[in-house]
Amino acid sequence: MLLVAGLVAGSGASPATAAGDPADGPRYRRITFPVDGSVSYTDTYGACRDGCTRSHEGQDLMGTKLLRLVSTVDGTVAWTRTDSSGLSGNMVAIRDASGWEYLYIHLNNDTPGTDDGLNPPEWILGPGIVAGATVSAGQLVGFMGDSGNAESSSPHVHFEIRRPNGNPINPWTSLRLAQGLPADPRCDYDTNPRSSPRKAAGPGYWVASPDGAVYAYGRTRNFGGMSGRRLAAPIIGLTPTPTAAGYWLLGRDGGIFSLGNAKFRGSTGDMRLNAPIVGMASTAHGKGYWLLGSDGGVFSFGDAKFYGSTGDRPLTATVNAIAATPSGKGYWLADTRGRVYPFGDAHSYGGAARLQLRRKIVAIVPTPTALGYWLLTASGRVLPYGDAKWNGAVKNIGLCSPSKARGMVPTRTGGGYWILQGDGHVRAYGDAYPWGGPAASGARGAAIAGVPSGSAA
């Protein structure tokens, strides 16, 4: 088997910004739809106006005169305008507690049943809608019309959303989600709890791509990879040494590639297997490791001791994940349906076999105390057991078709974790700091590993 050292395959990336991941789609606000009634609209944000001397900074919601316009949020009336002349005509702006503003433009300026332009005040704004007034989401704030330069078009409300600094965002996603409609790539709101990232919670992680490239993030070092080498099978695993000064890469065929201070202890490359290799875990001292077959067979190398397997049991699902206990004197196996098998000094804290999961389990991840673990599904669902805490999941982001989850790493505190997706995005939850992911350089993700808690990193 090949022993490799010193190949540079990738480098770290700058932390993600607070604005969120661009792959999750445009910025949006969780709002109540601004019109109480039937409207139609298409995405015209940024379209040319007045010979392209300006661009469209909102969405035109087309309807009928005097449709009720309602507040999209709880907030206050920032300002009103009841001069129906000019481009905008009658207007009202609502400001939420975070300083975002929601503008309603081209409010009604006609006596009901006419197009007289007499601007009757009782048919422009809702009762009590004056600057400084407090409003609730869904409260009447005005009436749809055709004031300003809308006189020559059909009645509608030009709706805008502006950041606290006054810059607009496209309201399209906010409007669609408010109606329960998809706005690609998003089909729903992000329902994850607010994160509280701290660099001290976890120094970083490595990500391996299927072609063997390795990317180092945070305070981790890159010890090379197999990028550019001809591989017999894609890389499916990455396991660091206890000192964080090296790692092993695992191929789907059971091939082991040792980098940095990782030592080659053997592989299944020359064995005739009953099932393919699907996972790997190292011993506490890094002088050995276990390889896992999808039939639950466990292969021990170096100082790794065999504590048992499911190879001799009738199984209802393939075994897909392995994780070692901190002592190295045991391990957990998990099958694709969520059944957990403890061996050695590993203890069972429950499993998901009765949940009838729609997507298979792809990882079992012990907590730092080893008094619990998380199960991760391919859809990015996170299932906590024992002292494991739920801090969010890819499944809860609200994306229509999120890339499959490939692996998960907890922070040293146990108060958060990172989840790797197949498209190379690494999601940070709880106190996990968003160090980055290979998606930024167009690479895919196959495996993720964190810095061992006992290392100096």
For residue 224, CA distances in Å to 176, 202, 299, 336, 366 come to: 45, 22, 26, 31, 27
Segment among 268-277, 297-306, 439-448 with least mean pLDDT: 268-277
Average pLDDT, the chain: 92
For residue 223, CA distances in Å to 12, 287, 299, 302 come to: 12, 18, 26, 22
SS3 content of the chain, % helix, strand, coil (to 5): 5, 35, 60
Question: Where are the domain boundaries for CATH 2.70.70.10 in the chain?
Answer: 30-178
- The domain 30-178 is placed in CATH, from the list 1.10.238.10, 1.10.30.50, 1.20.272.10, 2.70.70.10, at 2.70.70.10
Q: Whole-model pTM?
A: 0.88
Q: Are 69 and 143 in contact (CB under 8 A)?
A: yes
Residue 50 has pLDDT above 80, yes or no: no
Q: Are 142 and 92 in contact (CB under 8 A)?
A: yes
Q: What is the pLDDT of residues 407-455, one digit of tens each?
A: 999 999 999 999 999 999 999 999 999 999 999 999 999 999 999 876 6
Fold topology of 199-450: Methylamine Dehydrogenase; Chain H (2.130.10)
Question: Where are the domain boundaries for CATH 2.130.10.10 in the chain?
Answer: 199-450
Q: What is the pLDDT of residues 18-31, one digit of tens each?
A: 233 556 888 999 99
Q: What is the pLDDT of residues 51-81, one digit of tens each?
A: 787 777 899 999 999 999 999 999 999 999 9
Distance, in Å, from the CA atom of 238 to the CA atom of 433, rounded to the nearest integer, reads: 20
